[in-house]
Chains A and B, each alone.
Chain A
Amino acid sequence: MAPEPVDDFERELRQAFERRPAPPSLKRKIMERRRRQNTERIHRRVVFWQRLAASVLLAVAVSGVFLWRDMDERRKGEAARDQVFTALRIAHHALSEMNAQLAASGRGAQ
C-alpha cells in the first residue's frame, strides 16, 4: 500500500517518479542471455562428464596395464620356479643314480 503524500511537493514527486517503461529490447536481451547461459551450462556439463568419462577410462587402462604386468611377472616367476624344481629333480635323480652306482662298485670291491 503506497503511503499517502502529505503535500503538493510529495504528490509532484510521486508523479515524477512513476516507473519508466523498460526499453523494448530489454526483454529480448534478457531472454537471449538466458538462452546463451543455459547453452553454456549444458555445454559445461557435457564437457565435465566427457572429461570424467575420459579420466575413468584412462584410470582403468593404466590400472589394467599395471595389473597385466603384475600377472605376467607372476606367471614368469612361477614358470622359472617350475624350471628350477625340474632341474633340481633331474639333478637329484642323477645324484641318486650316481650314489647307487658308487655303492654297487664299493660292494664289488669288498
Chain B
Amino acid sequence: MARDWQPDFEQLVDEHQSMVYSLAVRMTGDRGLAEEIAQDVFLDLDKHLGKIESPLHARLWLRRVAMSRTADALRRQRVRGMDLWVEVEESHGASAEVRQSPLGARLEALLATLPEPQRAALVLRYQEGLTPDEIAETCDAPLATVKSNLQRGLKLLRAKAQNHLKEFIRGA
C-alpha cells in the first residue's frame, strides 16, 4: 500500500533534535555523550527511514531508541566504573548552551542522584509529558513497574528538594 507521508530526514532532525538531546543529557548528565547519543540515534533513524510510517511513528521511534541508547551508554559507563554526573560541569561547560534557571539546574542535579529507572520515568513524565502507559511502552517495562518508579522517584525527588531547594520550591 502506498504511503502519503514521505519521511524527510533533515526535517526530522530539525523537529526532534531537541527532544532526543534533552532525553540523553538528562539521563547521562554529560553533554558530550548526549550529543554522541543523539547523533547515533539519528543515524540509526536514517538506516530505518524506510520503515517509518508517519510523523507520530517517527517521534515514538526516536524517543524509544534514544532511551534505549542512553541505557546502553549508562551500562557501558557503569562497566568502566565512571560516574558521568560527577563530570558534568567540569568536562562540558554550559557556555554554548542556553543557561538554565537556577532551580532547573538544581532539580536536574537532584534528578541525577535518583536510580536510573526512576530517572527515566520522571524524565519521560515531566519532560515529554507521557502517561505511565506510554512510558511503559517507551521503556519496554511493565506498567506496574513504571508506576512504582514514578511514585518512588517523585517521592525521593520531593524529599531531596525539601532538604536542598527550600528557597525555590513552594510545593516541595
Contacts and interface: CB of A to CB of B under 8 A. Distances in A.
Contact of B21 (A1, A7, A23, A37): A23
Interface in A17-66: 17-24, 26-27, 29-31, 33-34, 37
Given A3-B125, A11-B171, A12-B103, A23 B18 contact: no
Contact of B161 (A9, A14, A18): A9
B142 interface: no
A3 B129 CA distance: 6
Interface residues on A, range: 20 to 34
Contact of B127 (A8, A10, A19): A19
Interface string B1-45: 000000001100110011111100110000100010011001100
Contact of A19 (B19, B39, B130): B19
B136 to A, nearest CB: 14
A30 B42 contact: yes
Contacts of A33: 39, 43
B108 interface: yes
Contacts of A21: 18, 97-98
Interface of A: 1-3, 7-24, 26-27, 29-31, 33-34, 37
13 contacts: A7-B171, A8-B170, A11-B171, A14-B129, A16-B101, A16-B103, A16-B104, A17-B122, A17-B127, A19-B18, A29-B35, A30-B13, A33-B39
